[in-house]
Structure 1
Amino acid sequence: MSTAFEPDFLQGSRPHTTVILAMSADGKIADRDRHAARFSSAADLHHLETLIAQTDGVLFGANTLRAYGTCLTVRQPELLDGRSQRHQPPQPIQIVCSGSGKLDPQGRFFRQAVPRWLITTVSGAKPWQGAVAFDQILVLPDDSPTDWPTLAQQLRTRGIAKLALLGGGTLVAAWLEAGLVDELYLTICPLLIGGATAPTPVDGTGSPISAALPLTLVGAKTLGSEVFLHYRYSRDPGD
């Protein structure tokens, strides 16, 4: 990671972005084989649904989609009613980030009644040309590092004011490095997974302690054996 985090980058011209993840007590979001992390409770799933119901879009990486096969939809009547009152469509836009564009068009995700966008490269977009699987495709250059701040601006221009980022750890790390994350909701689940290669909430190359991003605890609660934490990213040491 870079040595500088700027969570307030271009405020107003990018989505307010919230990372939402569940992890094991030893900090893993999946096992060493990257199987779907289906270890959280019904209470955590309700918590996640409540949070995504407040957003305009939900962003996740291709590996996350491959692991789960589907996206979480808003189903609770009170949450659907809230979206209606805020003049939002019933479902937030499900935004898949895949540089290769190699996704199974026969997968269950493509049969869900949700709006879908794809973020990919020029070569990754080719298999989807003329297809109706995605409502929009945002195309990035093949041969240069992803310009995440510009991409975030494009999402905001397309009406994404509130964005939920659901992983995986590599995508979260990229958005953190670019200074594009505002809040973190983290559920700690009562199990140990282990494994040096098992993914964590923030993967990537990491940063030295001197460059670590400080957090401010906004809320914490315990339900059963799970702990629900809500942090915001501090903008200065005294925040």
Structure 2
Amino acid sequence: MVQHRPHTTVVLAMSADGKIADFRRSPARFGSKADKAHLEKQIAASDATLFGAGTLRAYGTTLTVSHPTLLQNRTKAGKSTQPVHIVITQSGNLNPEIHFFQQPVPRWLLTTTAGASFWRGRSEFEQILVFETPQGKIDLLATLQHLALLHITRLVILGGGELVASMLELDLIDELWLTVCPLILAGATAPTPAESTGFPANLAPRLELLEVNQVDQEVFLHYRLQRPAS
């Protein structure tokens, strides 16, 4: 049964060997201007973005909508100029001095009871969401169901790989946009789009290829998660 939750789309750039960052986990700045424009378009079409604390620590910022046409389209649709940017972190361990906290975007925090303690009563986050499993982990399904109640219908997932893998394991991903960039990063510890212990081949999530676009040396792959017909 399909749970009432936002439509979710993962948007990631990766090397030709499937790495989303190098072995140092440096910020992945190997995508082209076309890839950045593609990412901005996906963010502009969303009501909210969701990304892990590791992704935020690597970049220190989030991507805002700046293209005039995209801003105009959001305004015409009755939306705010920027979607909500939601950081997910078990520990709540974030540096309040990073540039992200000066960017003109609505900021929400998704964390645990312990992770929320430092941020309560402060101004950095407009909302602090706490949904925990009995084991004290963040309850992703309950979170997404709550977001739907707040009229967030389209959610873009910006990484990292652990978040994507966790959502795949819970069948909470609907689509993926993967940009294949023309370089080889290698590295046994370099992160991939889905970081977990892995799926047995017979239980692996299956994808349906919807679209393939080539722009110069990059390839944009659009997939939909296959699900049994209801």
When the two structures are superposed, what TM-score results if normalisation uses the length of structure 1? 0.93
Q: In 2, are the aligned partners of 1:17 and 1:180 still within 8 Å (CA)?
A: yes
Q: In 1, are the aligned partners of 2:90 and 2:115 still within 8 Å (CA)?
A: yes
Q: 1:170 aligns with which of 147, 162, 166?
A: 162
| 2:213 counterpart SS class | strand
After superposition, the C-alpha distances for 1:85-143 in whole angstroms (9 at most, x for unaligned) are 11110000000001111111111000000000000111111111110100000013484
Q: 1:146 aligns with which of 138, 145, 150?
A: 138
Structural mapping, 1:53-72, within 5 Å: 53-72=44-63
The alpha-carbon deviation at position 144 of structure 1 amounts to: 2.6
Partner residue in 2 for 1:20? 11
How far, CA to CA, are the matches of 1:95 and 1:108 in structure 2?
15
Q: Which amino acid aligns with 2:142?
A: T
Partner residue in 2 for 1:215? 207
Structure 2 unaligned segments of length 5 or more: list them: none
Partner residue in 1 for 2:77? 86
Q: Which amino acid aligns with 1:42?
A: K
Q: In 1, are the aligned partners of 2:27 and 2:59 still within 8 Å (CA)?
A: yes
| 2:2 counterpart SS class | coil
User: Number of aligned pairs?
Assistant: 229
| 1:192 counterpart SS class | coil
| 2:180 counterpart SS class | strand
State the percentage of identical aligned residues. Answer: 52
Q: In 2, are the aligned partners of 1:9 and 1:180 still within 8 Å (CA)?
A: no
Structure 1 unaligned segments of length 5 or more: list them: 1-7
How far, CA to CA, are the matches of 2:151 and 2:54 in structure 1?
25
The alpha-carbon deviation at position 231 of structure 1 amounts to: 0.6
Partner residue in 2 for 1:5? none
Alignment of 1:204 onto 2:196 = yes
Alignment of 1:104 onto 2:90 = no
The alpha-carbon deviation at position 156 of structure 1 amounts to: 1.2
Q: Which runs of 4+ in 1 moved over 3 A?
A: 140-143
| 1:59 counterpart SS class | strand
